[in-house]
Amino acid sequence: MAFLGAPCHENESVGEPLFTKTTLPLVSLPSANLGNGPPGDTRQGVQSEQMQLDPHAIHIYTDGSCYRNPGGASGCAAVAHYPDNMQREDEEIFDFGCAESKNNRMELLACVRALRWIRENAPWPEVSRVQVITDSLYIKENIARARGWKKNDWRNQYGEPKENSDLWKQFISAQQKVGIRVSFEWTAGKKSPILKRVDNAAKIAARRGGTDVDRGYSSGQVARSMVKGPATRFAASGQTAVVRIYRKNLMASGENKVRFDVVAEDLQSYAASCYAFASGEMCLDLHRHHVYRLRFSANPNYPEIVELVGEVKLPPPLGSEPREDAGTPVTP
């Protein structure tokens, strides 16, 4: 079942590859409206199949890059590999470089531009299929959900607003107009020469920067988390929590996505990096690098900041001996 996209949760190696020039463990990303539930099904756990590269198809390898993600110089690129009967060398088919964006947007933009390139250049003699290969987990996990988000005014089934709706709209539109069978495949890492080549092309485009503009990117008010790793959805249960605000972004829905470090007051450390949503009025009172006690909604699938209880002054940090259960130490 290989058509335009769906989430998957396993990356299993395949057996002997059909195409020997590029040996990749692939996972095919099946469409949300091809047998895994109703059209636009946004449920998690949609299964996907192992997939091998078709030696008779055109393969397009995409990648995105961002220096100092998010908000840094960003770029994306794609390299096409043609079947042997076409007797054409691999070629870089596009690149894009801008002064600021973020990695997920570049990965998605690369897929949008790949679809547009296919439409502009098809048909090809004796080619009835194109495979687009990405190593982006963001694409892997959300490619099937986008149609459901669109039907729900760019919110998931729990009402949480979703980012990058401008690019997902472009993706769906390009998908509908492509005019040839296209499948998306996911592979982990950059283990083959052609994957390394497209990775390098995306980085060069990002370093170049400024030539293009990602007009859909909203930089917001950016600072850095004190906790390593991406922010996760805050497990809201009606509780209050002490948090340090480090980023605010205005969503297309008009709400703000607020990222913060959760402070464990007894440990004087940062326990986790999380996000929740807040109204514009609430965000006016939340300032970066400040620490607040906030009250949250009781919906863990759509966490909202409902009350600013007060600003908090943290006590002086404990002695220099770290505790075994402590997280990232709070610095003055």
User: In this prediction, what percent of the chain has a pLDDT beyond 70?
Assistant: 78
* Predicted confidence (pLDDT) per residue in 102-114, tens digit: 999 999 999 999 9
Which residue type, as a one-letter code, is found at position 56? H
Is 162 domain-assigned?
Answer: yes
Please report the pLDDT score of residue 207 as a whole number.
95
**Shared-domain flag, residues 175 and 264:** no
CA distance 294 to 306: 8
Give the confidence band of 121 by pLDDT, cuts at 50, 70, 90.
Answer: very high
Is 16 domain-assigned?
Answer: no
CATH of the domain at 290: 2.40.50.140
Question: Is pLDDT above 90 for 302?
Answer: yes
CA distance 230 to 162: 16
Is 140 domain-assigned?
Answer: yes
**Shared-domain flag, residues 202 and 235:** no
Is 1 domain-assigned?
Answer: no
Please report the pLDDT score of residue 19 as a whole number.
29
**Shared-domain flag, residues 69 and 155:** yes
Please report the pLDDT score of residue 209 as a whole number.
85
Which residue type, as a one-letter code, is found at position 210? G
Is 238 domain-assigned?
Answer: yes
pTM: 0.78
Question: Is pLDDT above 90 for 162?
Answer: yes
**Shared-domain flag, residues 169 and 308:** no
**Shared-domain flag, residues 157 and 263:** no
Is 130 domain-assigned?
Answer: yes
Residue range of the domain that includes 241? 221-329
**Shared-domain flag, residues 228 and 274:** yes
**Shared-domain flag, residues 240 and 325:** yes
Domains of the chain: total = 2
Q: Could you check whether the bond before residue 316 is cis, i.e. omega within 30 degrees of 0?
A: no
Residue that is last in its domain, among 160, 183, 208: 208
**Residue by residue, what is the 3-state secondary structure of the chain?**
CCCCCCCCCCCCCCCCCCCCCCCCCEEECCCCCCCCCCCCCCCCCCCCEEECCCCCCEEEEEEEEECCCCCCCEEEEEEEECCHHHCCCCEEEEEEEECCCCHHHHHHHHHHHHHHHHHHHCCECCECEEEEEECCHHHHHHCCCHHHHHHCCCECCCCCECCCHHHHHHHHHHHHHCCCEEEEEEECCCCCHHHHHHHHHHHHHHHHCCCECCCCCCCCEECCCCCCCCCEECCCCCCEEEEEEEEEEECCCCCEEEEEEEEECCCCEEEEEEEEEECHHHHCCCCCCCEEEEEECCCCCCCEEEEEEEECCCCCCCCCCCCCCCCEECCC
**Shared-domain flag, residues 197 and 245:** no
Separation of CA 222 from chain center: 18
Query: Residue 289: exposed, middle, or buried by beta-carbon count in 10 A (0-12, 13-18, 19+)?
Result: exposed
Tell me which residue has tokens 């990695």.
103
**Shared-domain flag, residues 147 and 278:** no
CATH of the domain at 164: 3.30.420.10
CA distance 164 to 149: 11
Is 115 domain-assigned?
Answer: yes
**Shared-domain flag, residues 154 and 35:** yes
* Predicted confidence (pLDDT) per residue in 213-250, tens digit: 999 998 765 678 999 989 999 999 999 999 999 999 88
* Predicted confidence (pLDDT) per residue in 47-99, tens digit: 345 668 999 999 999 999 999 888 899 999 999 999 999 999 999 999 999 99
Give the confidence band of 316 by pLDDT, cuts at 50, 70, 90.
Answer: low
Is 4 domain-assigned?
Answer: no
Residue that is last in its domain, among 149, 184, 208: 208
**Shared-domain flag, residues 49 and 180:** yes
**Shared-domain flag, residues 63 and 183:** yes
Residue that is last in its domain, among 156, 183, 208: 208
> With contact defined as beta carbons under 8 Å apart, do 160 and 97 qualify?
no
